[in-house]
Amino acid sequence: MNQLFINNQWVDAKDGVTYSLINPATEEEIANISNGNQEDCNVAVEAAHAAFQAWGKTTPYQRAAILKKAADYMRANLDVFAKDMVVESGKPLAEAKGEWTVAANLFEWYAEEAKRSYGKTIPTNRPDKRSSVIWQPMGVIGVITAWNFPAYNPARAWAAALAAGCTIVAKPSENTPLSAFHLAEALMKSGLPEGVVNVIVGDAAAIGEAMLQNPLLKKISFTGSTRVGKILMDGASKTYTKLSLELGGNAPVLIFDDVDVDALAKVTSIARFRNNGQVCIAPQRFYIHKNIYQQFCDTVTKHVSQLKVGNGFEEGVHVGPLITKKQKESVEKLLEETRQENANILTGGHTPENMQKGYFLQPAVVADLQQSSVLAKQEIFGPVLPLFSFEDLEDAIVKANDTEYGLAAYVFTNNLKTAIHASERLEFGIIGINEWAPHGTESPFGGWKQSGQGHESGSEGMYEYMEKKLISIGGL
Ligand code: NAD
């Protein structure tokens, strides 16, 4: 199962090329994976287009039966799937199991939601005329996804697009293809007709370009960096391929002085380092009220320095390796820049002792940062907790909104007025008040500003893959 998946068959790339998939915890080769390119993408698009002729006409009830079965298959195979996810992504086993549970939930939720894609009738101004609006599936969807959630990222787009009646050419990250292959396996074993889902992995730029250039492909759903999102926007401006973009983030966290500082600092040490900070909605810029700044710094540092770093299979590990050597180097470079800024690294930021193999980095806490710091400007995507301070609500809001990103923001306070004012003034698509997990299968997930356009999950996620059609009947 290390090949491309086209027409319900596992096939080699046309030119026979493979690449070596590396375990980030051991730097050992996991498998040789078929390395697809433009030509493979076009074959997959043809397959998806042929399959759409029948799949697009199925009832939501027929589609729901298959999606629900696939969710059950994921749950039944959770242990095996989760182990492969740990091997390819490095995340702790408990996180991998949790992610597969959410992936299954997405398929089950969209199985139900497909049945509710209601249109509407519109009263007209003529007695001989009737108007109605219906929703129809777009056709073939290209789904390009990032490695940080190897099952969740593809699952939320695949489940919604399939529920809508679309067919798919998926391109998961070259770093984490195994989980996407398992998703395809779950769907095939659940009776998905051939060609409805196809998975190719390999030369990302060539495959992205082939998707843009192929007129049979109606939309690209992209989850990844703002940098690559802009490349796709450039291309789409010439081909008019529609785009949904779920891009980078740089989430602020506003912590006011009416909270239980010690309790919050303790959970912060877990929330910030979930998936090693490699999360698009990861709490990144911590703005702490000046009255509790020192207490918060001390307590959070104590907890972060106790986090266990190691192979995701080890008991009690909180933080695994970063995904690649390049990713580790990019975080180290950011830390080096903060040293130049005279910030204080209170703990971590180095390769843990006796861990020379694998892309491990000791979780870091950095304090005394200015708003001009590189840690305020750039998405870190790694195990660094930067601490800034603020004077009052106004100061906090201005600093929090001072970013080109607009995905998620968090506010911690026991004052209702502060919570409401802050949530209304923050320029972000997702706001968590006194909680770290503001999103859910049933809620719309999407970014403002350069964090994206369109939504995944929730009913909004399904309509991203449908076209609205007005039907007007005259002469009645
Ligand atoms: P990335 O943009 O480098 O890669 C994402 C995907 O795009 C991968 O499958 C990659 O192979 C592919 N790709 C790379 N170059 C391409 C090109 N020229 N044309 C087409 N496809 C191309 O991002 P990454 O490093 O894999 O993931 C991290 C980024 O993803 C972070 O910025 C993170 O915030 C973002 N992300 C966003 C969300 C969200 O929902 N908003 C979710 C997860 C990750």
Instruction: Name residues whose C-beta falls within 8 Å of residue 294's C-beta, 6 or more positions apart in sequence.
Output: none
Give 425's pLDDT tier (boundaries 50, 70, 90). Answer: very high
Q: Whose CA is nearest to atom 17 of ligand 1?
A: 205
The domain 4-247+451-473 is placed in CATH, from the list 1.20.140.150, 3.30.70.520, 3.40.50.2300, 3.40.605.10, at: 3.40.605.10
Determine the 3-state secondary structure of 385 from DSSP: strand
**pLDDT above 70 coverage of the chain, percent:** 100
Residue of 173, 214, 443 to mutate, ligand 1, most atoms within 8 A of C-beta: 173
Q: 147 CA distance to ligand 1 centroid (A)?
A: 8
pLDDT score of 432 more than 90: yes
Count of all residues that appear for the chain in the document: 476
Enter the tokens of residue 244.
């949904």
CB half-sphere exposure, 429, CA atoms < 13 A: 26
- Give the pLDDT mean for 249-265: 98
d(CA 318, CA 310) in angstroms, rounded, equals 8
Backbone angles phi, psi at 221, to 5 degrees: -100, 115
Q: 470 CA distance to ligand 1 centroid (A)?
A: 35
- Give the pLDDT mean for 132-141: 98
Enter the tokens of residue 283.
């709490």
Q: Whose CA is nearest to atom 13 of ligand 1?
A: 204
**Bridge partner list, 120:** 133
Cα dihedral 150, 151, 152, 155 sign: positive
Q: 472 CA distance to ligand 1 centroid (A)?
A: 42
d(CA 252, CA 53) in angstroms, rounded, equals 46
Residue 280 annotated among the catalytic residues of the structure: yes
**Bridge partner list, 21:** 31
Atom of ligand 1 nearest to the CA of 172: 9
Classify residue 27 as left (phi > 0), alpha (psi -120 to 50) or beta. Answer: left
pLDDT value of residue 179: 98
pLDDT value of residue 188: 98
d(CA 120, CA 176) in angstroms, rounded, equals 42
Q: 176 CA distance to ligand 1 centroid (A)?
A: 12
Pair 12, 6: CB distance under 8 Å:
no
pLDDT value of residue 379: 98
d(CA 171, CA 177) in angstroms, rounded, equals 9
Task: From residue 14, give the alpha-carbon distance in Å to each of 38, 291, 339, 416.
Answer: 10, 63, 49, 60
Residue of 89, 144, 149 to mutate, ligand 1, most atoms within 8 A of C-beta: 144
Backbone angles phi, psi at 364, to 5 degrees: -115, 150
Q: What is the DSSP letter of 472?
A: E
- Selecting among 113, 185, 246, 379, the annotated active-site residue is 246
pLDDT score of 1 more than 90: no
d(CA 404, CA 411) in angstroms, rounded, equals 19
What is the per-residue pLDDT across 185-218, written as a single tens digit (0 to 9) for each?
999 999 999 999 999 999 999 999 999 999 999 9
Residue that is written with structure tokens 């729901």 in the block: 64
Atom of ligand 1 nearest to the CA of 456: 40
Q: Whose CA is nearest to atom 12 of ligand 1?
A: 204
pLDDT value of residue 345: 98
pLDDT score of 111 more than 90: yes
Q: In this structure, which amino acid lies at residue 18?
A: T
Q: 56 CA distance to ligand 1 centroid (A)?
A: 28
Atom of ligand 1 nearest to the CA of 211: 20
Q: In this structure, which amino acid lies at residue 218?
A: K
CATH 3.40.605.10 occupies which residues in the chain? 4-247+451-473
Determine the 3-state secondary structure of 295 from DSSP: helix
pLDDT value of residue 208: 98
Determine the 3-state secondary structure of 307 from DSSP: coil
pLDDT value of residue 394: 98
Give 78's pLDDT tier (boundaries 50, 70, 90). Answer: very high
- Give the pLDDT mean for 454-462: 97
Residues in contact with ligand 1 by the CB-under-6-Å rule are 144-148, 153, 171, 173-174, 204-205, 208, 223-225, 228, 231, 246-249, 280, 379, 381, 407, 447, 452
Residue 166 annotated among the catalytic residues of the structure: no
Burial (CB count <10 Å: 0-12, 13-18, 19+), residue 384? buried
Query: Which of 164, 197, 188 lies closest to 56 in space, CA to CA?
Result: 164
Pair 49, 139: CB distance under 8 Å:
yes
pLDDT value of residue 380: 98
The dihedral formed by the CA atoms of 274, 277, 282 and 285, expressed in degrees to the nearest 10? 130
What is the per-residue pLDDT across 219-232, written as a single tens digit (0 to 9) for each?
999 999 999 999 99
CATH 3.40.309.10 occupies which residues in the chain? 251-440
pLDDT value of residue 109: 98
pLDDT value of residue 293: 98
d(CA 250, CA 280) in angstroms, rounded, equals 8
Q: What is the greatest pairwise CA distance in the chain? A: 82
Please give the CATH superfamily to which domain 251-440 belongs. Aldehyde Dehydrogenase; Chain A, domain 2 (3.40.309.10)
d(CA 276, CA 323) in angstroms, rounded, equals 9
Atom of ligand 1 nearest to the CA of 327: 25
Q: 370 CA distance to ligand 1 centroid (A)?
A: 29
- Give the pLDDT mean for 372-392: 98
What is the per-residue pLDDT across 317-330, written as a single tens digit (0 to 9) for each?
999 999 999 999 99
Query: Which of 427, 436, 286 lies closest to 364 in space, CA to CA?
Result: 286
d(CA 366, CA 193) in angstroms, rounded, equals 52
Give 7's pLDDT tier (boundaries 50, 70, 90). Answer: very high
Q: Whose CA is nearest to atom 36 of ligand 1?
A: 224
- Give the pLDDT mean for 173-178: 98
Pair 321, 356: CB distance under 8 Å:
no
- Give the pLDDT mean for 275-301: 98
Average pLDDT of the chain is 98
Element (H, E) at 156: helix 152-164
Q: Whose CA is nearest to atom 35 of ligand 1?
A: 224
Determine the 3-state secondary structure of 430 from DSSP: strand
Q: What is the DSSP letter of 357?
A: S
- Give the pLDDT mean for 169-194: 98
- Selecting among 46, 99, 185, 280, the annotated active-site residue is 280
Q: Whose CA is nearest to atom 26 of ligand 1?
A: 146
Q: 465 CA distance to ligand 1 centroid (A)?
A: 20
CB half-sphere exposure, 435, CA atoms < 13 A: 8
